Amino acid sequence: MSIQMSEVVPLVEATALLVIRDYWKGPKECDPEEVHARLKSLSESSMLTAGEIARVMGYSGSEAGLAEHVTPRGARLLHAVPRVPAVVADRVVERFGNLQRILAATMAELDEVEGVGEARARALKENLRRMREQALLGWSPG
């Protein structure tokens, strides 16, 4: 079975937009498509330097800035949870702020988010638990 480029490109583009939303440090009103366009407009040599990419993403391009620890907001993972609409996933990210807080949230706390409800709270907790286990099982030390 061969995957056509026309099938892969939209998936890569959608994932890139979610990664931008996960790691954007600039103003809250991030327009992922605008940031993506700015990243795509970088020259090949600029793309090879982490400093320039960091600046476009709202971080300092300095050596100290590049050493800064970053935490994903959780958009990419939440958008992968079946039967959770994008707007609901976005509300969860907005409410908790980052992936660690989402993972630590109780079902009752998730249920408080508009559009979640008990069934989606359970689906979120179960899917995130499964994703975490898969990530840990796939991890192997140096």
Q: What is the pLDDT of residue 3?
A: 64
First to last CA, the chain: 34
Instruction: Please state, in angstroms and rounded to a whole number, the distance separating the CA atoms of residues 107 and 31.
Output: 30
Domain boundary among 17, 36, 66: 66
Instruction: Pick from 57-66, 76-85, 129-138 the range whose average pLDDT is largest.
Output: 76-85
Q: How many CA atoms lie within 13 A of 24 on its CB side?
A: 22
Are 59 and 109 contained in the same domain?
no
CATH of the domain at 87: 1.10.150.20
Are 134 and 86 contained in the same domain?
yes
Number of domains in the chain: 2
Are 88 and 50 contained in the same domain?
no
The DSSP line for 44-58 is: HHHHT-HHHHHHHTT
Are 34 and 81 contained in the same domain?
no
Residue pair 131/103 in contact by the 8 Å Cβ criterion = no
> How large is the average pLDDT for residues 104-123?
96
Are 130 and 84 contained in the same domain?
yes
> How large is the average pLDDT for residues 54-76?
88
For the record, the structure tokens of 80 come out as 């992968």
> What percent of the chain has pLDDT above 70?
91
pLDDT in tens, 16-38: 999 999 999 876 677 899 999 99
> What percent of the chain has pLDDT above 90?
56
- pLDDT above 90: residue 10: no
For the record, the structure tokens of 142 come out as 């140096």
pLDDT in tens, 35-57: 999 999 999 888 888 888 889 99
- pLDDT above 80: residue 140: no
Owning domain of residue 12: 5-66
Domain boundary among 66, 97, 118: 66
Are 79 and 128 contained in the same domain?
yes
pTM of the model: 0.79
pLDDT in tens, 123-132: 999 999 998 8
Are 107 and 131 contained in the same domain?
yes
